[in-house]
Structure 1
Amino acid sequence: MSSPVATLAEAVTALGDAWPDGSLAGCEPGRLASLTELVGTARRLLDAAAAQVATEVARQSRPELGAESLAKRHGHRNATVMLATTLGTSTAEAAKLVEVGDATAPQATPAGAPAPARHPHIAAAVASGTLGRDAASMIIRMLDALPHRVTPAAIDDAERALTGQAIGLELHALQKILLHAEAHLDPEGLEPKEEELRALTAVTVRNDRSGMIILNAKLDPARGAPVLTLLEAMVTAELGRERDAATRGNGLPPRPIPVMLAEALITVCEHYTGCDRTDQPLPGATVIVRCTLDDLRTGTGTATIDGIDQPICIGTARRMAASGGIIPWVMGTDSEILDWGREKRLFTTAQKRAITERDGGCIGCGAPPGRSKVHHVTWWTHGGTTDLTNGALLCDSCHHRIHDQGWDIHIDGPGINAHVWLLPPPTIDPTRTPRPAAQRRFTYQPAA
């Protein structure tokens, strides 16, 4: 693997050319966005160089070297302390640099002959500055934790696919992809993992010195899904009421989401303890578990819960179906009209189910279906129809961003297998290159 130092020097030179003076006050938006990309590239390349240095520092500071260890000769307890002290970071961050460097450095055979890096696809992406240290570390840890029943060929294919998907993603979105990739590669490991998560499920309650009640909850995916779904549905409904009030000109400043979540939890408990309020069930408060009918019948494969990142084993899906009942849904039969043309303005529940199966959530940010609504791609007021090919799931924030800032939506193909694309405005991308919607950006896509 070639040294990233030369590439780093080029990136820093490009950044210096684009930023010749010291002030950014009032910087033109397009230039500021370009500077952000240049800084990101330089930072990733600097991390790549730091990882190589960290690996060699760790090699020359091996415990068996004793007093001759590089770290000890420079007055440090070990390599991570030396790196943390020198780089001005934490020992955890220093250990992450060593981890990435070790996984991406060239190896040697027992005979001393050169060999590829343990993770060559990650190594190439890190060296080129397209993949950062933190993203590389997350992928490495997931792949290295896979059991021996996952073949080396499958791990190599997954590494190549994940390295490509991780580029341009923030870390929470990457974590969601990694959970799906792990379930895809090792479905047999889901059930024991769920048993571990169920064993860790707990709620602690205490009073602090001011008298406030402090709750801390950890819930496994299957049993936590109803809690999360209900609270999010209640908050979404409250946000809608606040937005409507603001539109009428008599709204108050929006409250923080944590405040809304707390009040939603209080409301649920008040109902259970005998409150005489008779609110109607909230739309979007149904827990949706998705799997194929064949998998449900045979007990193979995996399932997902809307709004929950961690996939579940098919056994858990079966238990949830047994306790909650099954509503069979057959796409496109005569029992449900999925295309209404201009006869109806609002999308039906059947249509939203179909569009949710295709989009998975908000096509912009990936927000779960409970926080998203079906919107007309071509506005109803502009002649748009209430059909599947003219509907897309959007949260309120992305809905306003897309329509107010000149983004377009393109749906390629019919039915739930259609591909949804977002076309940026020329001010962001003069070529208007289509970008895949969140369902494909945030879901693991195995290598072809």
Structure 2
Amino acid sequence: MRAVWSGPDAASLSDSDLVAVNERYCRMQRMLDADRAQLAAEIARRSRPELGPGSLAKTQGFRNPTALIAATAGTSTGDAARLVKVGEATAPRQLLSGEKAPARHPHVAAALQEAGLTAQAAGAIIGILDRVALRAGHEAIEVAEKTLAEQAPGLSMDQLHRLLVHADAWLDPDGVAPREDEKRGLEQLIMREVDGMFEITGRLTPEHGAPVKVAIEALVSAEMRATRDDPRDGTADSDAPRRSVVQMHADALVRLCEHALGCSQTDLPLQGAAVIVRIDHDNLINGTGYATIDGITAPVSVATARRMAAAGEIISCVLDGTGQILDWGRTRRLFSRNQRLALLERDGGCAMCGVPPGHVKVHHIRWWARDAGPTDLANGVCLCESCHHRIHDNGWEIRIDGIGISAKVWFIPPPHVDPARTPRLGGRAKYDYAA
């Protein structure tokens, strides 16, 4: 018989009533889980292989009990097998003498009957306990089971997994190293192109995953702090969509790799490693056609090629109509550390929007590839990624008046922004107080 919602419309419930109703239904689900586990165990008992064609599952037209349970519940056979396992581990046992004995895992059984655990949580606990039972010993297993059954209620499955990982190490400390060795053999990083995107998936051991996680999260945290603490009115980037956390993770990974490629003091064997962007010279000048990147199948737009050509970490390969190389970089394509410090002193961060120095790169005003721009102070400007894209995509121009760190940076808007194209002061001078 189908259960029917008989209360008021969910949208009309107060916050406290909504939470209370949700908790009541979740408790009912846990109670059903406990009953279903016992029913699954009994179905499995009546479908034992030794019963042959007379087993319950076969008389109902199924190959085995998990197939029967999965079809009835609309779940996978794996879920049905786990439900059977929970039921068998928490149901009272019948001895050969015919007498009843306690369940194999009485503490988990009690938590199930009290609606403190879901079948999924109970199965996870039972799986850990059974796997290390021989090595840990009966007493340690009983202590761990009691502790887990008491701590698990109220935890999400993600939180329970963290608890089980520590319980596993406590029960079987000698197994930690062998499990690490096994996991090292499962490490992998897969890079492939899918639908015009570059897809990266991988698995790392804790030893190798920790520095990756810490580095990426540090960059994301700094970005979020800068956004939160920015004293400006927030209009500078109002036309740029807000990046989600997972998108910021991707940005951080890109920044780390760009830094490694551009760092002259790294001990990594990256000499000669560079991103090569290929585009016809006329297309680069006129904004027509498309570009390609060495090692990547999918073409990129001219706008993307221009941004990449203007970035210090990219070498562009500009070809004429016959495919001959016109410009393959110069002796020095990256601004030096001292040049960067001088430009940061002049610009104070992003010369256009003012974000802190930690979020900017030094870019060529006259582009490295298209304009054969030199790598000197008069041709450098500090820009964040958002302003860099805005300038190149929307037709802004940059002018430097003066020499060295006392020079002033001016941003000249395109006609559609300001028909008069009145220069706008940028850099540190924009915020200096002139008495």
**Length-normalised TM-score, structure 1:** 0.55
The CA distance in 1 between the partners of 2:133 and 2:90, in whole Å, is: 21
The CA distance in 2 between the partners of 1:247 and 1:94, in whole Å, is: 57
CA deviations on 1:154-188 (whole Å, 9 max, x unpaired) are 10010000011001000000100100111111111
Letter in 1 for 2:254: I
The structure where strand makes up a greater share of residues is 2
Q: Verify the 8 A CA contact 2:89 2:103 in the aligned structure 1.
A: yes
1:200 is paired with a residue whose SS is coil
Name the counterpart of 2:74.
88
Say which of 255, 272, 279 aligns to 1:267: 255
RMSD of the alignment, in Å?
A: 2.4
* Residues 118, 234 of structure 1: alpha-carbon distance in 2 compared, 3 angstrom cutoff: same
Q: CA deviation at 1:244?
A: 2.7
1:216 is paired with a residue whose SS is strand
1:117-266 aligned at under 5 Å gives the runs 117-208=103-194, 210-245=195-230, 248-250=233-235, 254-266=242-254
Instruction: State whether structure 2 residue 61 is matched by structure 1 residue 61.
Output: no
1:271-350 aligned at under 5 Å gives the runs 271-274=259-262
Percent same amino acid among aligned pairs?
44
Q: Verify the 8 A CA contact 1:242 1:254 in the aligned structure 2.
A: no
Letter in 1 for 2:52: G
Q: Which has the higher contact order (CA 8 A, sep 6+)?
A: 1
CA deviations on 1:417-436 (whole Å, 9 max, x unpaired) are xxxxxxxxxxxxxxxxxxxx
The CA distance in 2 between the partners of 1:277 and 1:241, in whole Å, is: 28
Q: CA deviation at 1:277?
A: 12
Structure 1 gaps, min length 5:
1-11, 279-448
2:201 is paired with a residue whose SS is strand
2:136 is paired with a residue whose SS is coil
CA deviations on 1:211-230 (whole Å, 9 max, x unpaired) are 32211111001121101111
Structure 2 gaps, min length 5:
267-435
Q: CA deviation at 1:249?
A: 3.6
CA deviations on 1:352-376 (whole Å, 9 max, x unpaired) are xxxxxxxxxxxxxxxxxxxxxxxxx
Name the counterpart of 1:359.
none
Letter in 2 for 1:274: G
Q: Verify the 8 A CA contact 1:271 1:277 in the aligned structure 2.
A: no
Q: Verify the 8 A CA contact 1:197 1:220 in the aligned structure 2.
A: yes
CA deviations on 1:31-50 (whole Å, 9 max, x unpaired) are 11111111111000011111
Name the counterpart of 1:34.
20
Q: CA deviation at 1:20?
A: 4.5
Name the counterpart of 1:101.
87
2:191 is paired with a residue whose SS is strand
1:273 is paired with a residue whose SS is helix
The CA distance in 1 between the partners of 2:24 and 2:218, in whole Å, is: 40
Letter in 1 for 2:162: K
The CA distance in 2 between the partners of 1:277 and 1:248, in whole Å, is: 39
The CA distance in 1 between the partners of 2:189 and 2:171, in whole Å, is: 32
Q: Count the aligned residue pairs.
A: 262
Q: CA deviation at 1:22?
A: 4.5
The CA distance in 2 between the partners of 1:246 and 1:154, in whole Å, is: 56
Name the counterpart of 2:402.
none
Letter in 1 for 2:257: C
Letter in 2 for 1:263: D
2:63 is paired with a residue whose SS is coil
The CA distance in 1 between the partners of 2:231 and 2:108, in whole Å, is: 48
The CA distance in 2 between the partners of 1:77 and 1:121, in whole Å, is: 33
* Residues 40, 247 of structure 1: alpha-carbon distance in 2 compared, 3 angstrom cutoff: farther
Q: Verify the 8 A CA contact 2:133 2:141 in the aligned structure 1.
A: no
Name the counterpart of 1:24.
10
Larger radius of gyration: 2
**Length-normalised TM-score, structure 2:** 0.57
1:204 is paired with a residue whose SS is strand
Letter in 1 for 2:22: T
Letter in 2 for 1:98: V
The CA distance in 2 between the partners of 1:99 and 1:158, in whole Å, is: 19
Letter in 2 for 1:112: G
Q: Verify the 8 A CA contact 1:231 1:264 in the aligned structure 2.
A: yes
1:118 is paired with a residue whose SS is coil
1:214 is paired with a residue whose SS is strand
Q: CA deviation at 1:111?
A: 2.5
CA deviations on 1:296-328 (whole Å, 9 max, x unpaired) are xxxxxxxxxxxxxxxxxxxxxxxxxxxxxxxxx
The CA distance in 1 between the partners of 2:242 and 2:119, in whole Å, is: 37
Letter in 2 for 1:268: L
